[in-house]
Amino acid sequence: GTVVGQFMIGGMTCAACVSSVEGILKNLPGVRKAVVALATSLGEVEYDPSIISKDDIANAIEDAGFEASFVQ
């Protein structure tokens, strides 16, 4: 099954940053859907927790040079 996780993403300053983060998220194994909003700095990620954890998702965002923290 899938769950939806919300992540606060810091360091995004333009639309290209948003596309970049969305691209990273969508390419992760276990991630089904990812929508990132610049105005709120929130990313909503639909993922399969048996394949990837919320910490793995946050780490992938941080590896790309942004800050990420799990919200709920």
Per CB under 6 A, residues contacting ligand 9UX are: 13-14, 16-17
Quote the DSSP letter at residue 17. H
Name which of 52 and 64 has its Cβ closer to ligand 9UX: 64
Shortest distance, CB of residue 24 to ligand 9UX, whole angstroms?
13
Name which of 17 and 52 has its Cβ closer to ligand 9UX: 17
Name which of 1 and 39 has its Cβ closer to ligand 9UX: 39
DSSP 42-68: EEEEEE-TTT--HHHHHHHHHHTT-EE
